[in-house]
Structure 1
């Protein structure tokens, strides 16, 4: 079965996990696929440009807003013959849907999230939910990065449990070779920030948004500070909530415990600088950051939330209930008390993690699914013969 395809990737929010997903997924297909990425300009644009160059992909940037993205997709499909459109998330799929139907190009949605109630409340939210649900049911294929996320969406969208559109679950993978041994090869950030070797450093990596649970980490830090525990939290963070989070830390007189630095295009320096990474998420589609930590040999504390509980099964990660600052504080205390043992277990598991989460496996399965979707559309478009 051929895998030679011309793929148009549409990313309404090419940030964080979605941007790194694109980099990992398409990192090994330069000889078999041509890649074009349509995305708006964001504060991670430079990193996206570097990723596109690394992939040998063409990057088409457009202004912000769904209308401009839809126009850019329409222009691409009119000018170039694409095999398939790969939509990153619900909004990307909805935005590209009209142009795909007009051009007769199949549209596959990769689920990177859930239909959040806080974004779909009220009568406007109900209309958005109805419109999204209608479009999702009419797509040509749905790819979920975990069973958790697929079940959640199937429960939220009536009628999706039926056979159409075709669906598959393919767990995410990463460029494991990029992270193997990085705690030794990428050291230095700790000293640049003036953090002493003896200090115990917890890490937080990602966007400061409600989903990621940074507020839960602040609560847990406050509990440990009340016990006169000595530690530091290094947060390499971005997003709309950085200012609010910093203000909350100041108001609670916890600012001396936190070192907050901007978004890091290369997270390996962060993994090398921390003793334990903390992921107090409320939900995840799967957990790319968690797996990066495992492959780097970095100890990990994570919530047993949607997505993470699946990706971290049978690993040495310490799991705590979501939305539970006390349980998180207990796990952080245990990590400090067992520093050497925890580090040794994580280092010993790194090789197994690299073998388990290699993105080449997930990429091959995704390309196979895309080829099936393309074949399904071709078969459906052929005129049916009638009996003489």
Structure 2
């Protein structure tokens, strides 16, 4: 088989989706494939690609569907036509919409939602998103779910097509437990006193990530741990909060490892997730994790590695966070268990599976270059 040509398409240029795209593209380049990424030029993704030499092809696209979506789709088609890929790998909702509109194609298509689109909507928007995913799923040659929970959500919603699970993974050579000296140095660099209990919540501030629930819970945490501090690290944050003296709003960190080393517990009060890289990074660095009991997080937080609490329940969230801030030995023991559990989410295995699937899609769909025949799905379930 000749050198594969793969085009990744992503609208998110920060956070877990962008990190995943950069990792996948770099691995495929290492294998000798011809790889490019179509994405907006702001944010971190284009910056991450630059040192690798992987082209970041300019694709202007907004996060939500609007009157410009058809223009975004036409711009993407021009990019695809010029790059002439064997496989187009669409990441997240906007790329999945623009890249799966009706029309002839001569390449394989992989779609990876990284969290189903209807979970972000309400009412009519949620219903329309679910109907679209059910309609568009058969237009893929593979539809990748990042975890078992995401697969079940899709199946329960009536999504039928070439669904397959390729679980997210974490780079275990980069994310590993910090020694006491490293933890002390991280706190010193971040301006956090050595004896202050610290809770960390990191990720783009949004309804999805549930920072509002954590802020609602925080006063109850302080009644039990008056010295505790909370760091909310991510884009779009403002200097507001119920406890200005104990809550810090920080911009997104290019490298989350110092924050992970410095904290006692990581809190993820999300309303929905795929299988978040930040949770896997928390496990790998040996931090206790308090998270909501939703698909994607229930696969990560297992007995002994932290606590699962009901979604939309600030009281239960406060109790679980306060328990670990008040008992550092408990948090440390859970962190050690998390490090052992992280071995089940090795990034190397994730990328191997992804490359094998991409190769299979290319092999199954290359006849389109001459016959334009509709491809046979390469994956039919899990």
The two structures share one fold, judged by TM-score above 0.5: yes
Q: Confirm or deny: 8 A CA contact 2:225 2:326 kept in the other structure.
A: no
Report the equivalent of 2:65: none
Inter-CA distance 127–337: structure 2 relative to 1 (3 Å threshold): closer
How far apart are 1:3 and its partner, in Å? 9.2
- In the alignment, which of 344, 353, 360 is matched to residue 348 of structure 2? 360
Deviation digits for residues 181-240 of structure 1 (CA, Å, limit 9, x no counterpart): 44655764533443211100000110111111111111221112344622000111113x
SS in 2 for 1:210: coil
Output the CA distance in 2 between the equivalents of 1:228 and 1:342. 14
Report the equivalent of 1:173: 169
Inter-CA distance 200–153: structure 2 relative to 1 (3 Å threshold): same
Q: Confirm or deny: 8 A CA contact 2:306 2:331 kept in the other structure.
A: no
> Is 1:220 aligned to 2:217, yes or no?
yes
Q: Confirm or deny: 8 A CA contact 1:24 1:173 kept in the other structure.
A: no
Report the equivalent of 2:150: 149
Inter-CA distance 31–20: structure 2 relative to 1 (3 Å threshold): closer
1:301-380 matched pairs, under 5 angstroms: 301-313=290-302, 316-347=305-336, 349-350=338-339, 352-378=340-366
Q: Confirm or deny: 8 A CA contact 1:112 1:145 kept in the other structure.
A: yes
Inter-CA distance 224–186: structure 2 relative to 1 (3 Å threshold): closer
Report the equivalent of 1:34: 34
> What runs of 5+ residues in structure 1 fail to find an aligned partner?
none
Output the CA distance in 1 between the equivalents of 2:167 and 2:316. 28
Output the CA distance in 2 between the equivalents of 1:349 and 1:154. 29
- In the alignment, which of 77, 89, 94 is matched to residue 92 of structure 2? 89
Inter-CA distance 19–330: structure 2 relative to 1 (3 Å threshold): same
How far apart are 1:120 and its partner, in Å? 5.4
Q: Confirm or deny: 8 A CA contact 2:288 2:338 kept in the other structure.
A: no
Inter-CA distance 91–25: structure 2 relative to 1 (3 Å threshold): same
Deviation digits for residues 333-354 of structure 1 (CA, Å, limit 9, x no counterpart): 210232024214423642x345
Output the CA distance in 2 between the equivalents of 1:179 and 1:141. 30
TM-score (norm 2): 0.85
Deviation digits for residues 52-89 of structure 1 (CA, Å, limit 9, x no counterpart): 13544211123334445434422232223311000002
Inter-CA distance 130–154: structure 2 relative to 1 (3 Å threshold): same
**Structure 1 or 2: larger helix share?**
1
Report the equivalent of 1:229: 226
Inter-CA distance 175–3: structure 2 relative to 1 (3 Å threshold): farther
Q: Confirm or deny: 8 A CA contact 1:186 1:268 kept in the other structure.
A: no
RMSD: 2.7
> Is 1:289 aligned to 2:292, yes or no?
no
Report the equivalent of 2:66: none
Inter-CA distance 128–148: structure 2 relative to 1 (3 Å threshold): closer
1:133-282 matched pairs, under 5 angstroms: 133-156=134-157, 158=158, 160-161=159-160, 165-182=161-178, 185=182, 188-227=185-224, 229-239=226-236, 242-243=237-238, 246-247=239-240, 249=241, 252=242, 254-282=243-271
Report the equivalent of 1:115: 117
Output the CA distance in 1 between the equivalents of 2:217 and 2:355. 42
TM-score (norm 1): 0.84
Deviation digits for residues 135-179 of structure 1 (CA, Å, limit 9, x no counterpart): 2332222000012112212333x4x33xxx322111101222111
Output the CA distance in 1 between the equivalents of 2:51 and 2:9. 18
Q: Confirm or deny: 8 A CA contact 1:62 1:68 kept in the other structure.
A: no
> What runs of 5+ residues in structure 2 fail to find an aligned partner?
63-68, 375-382
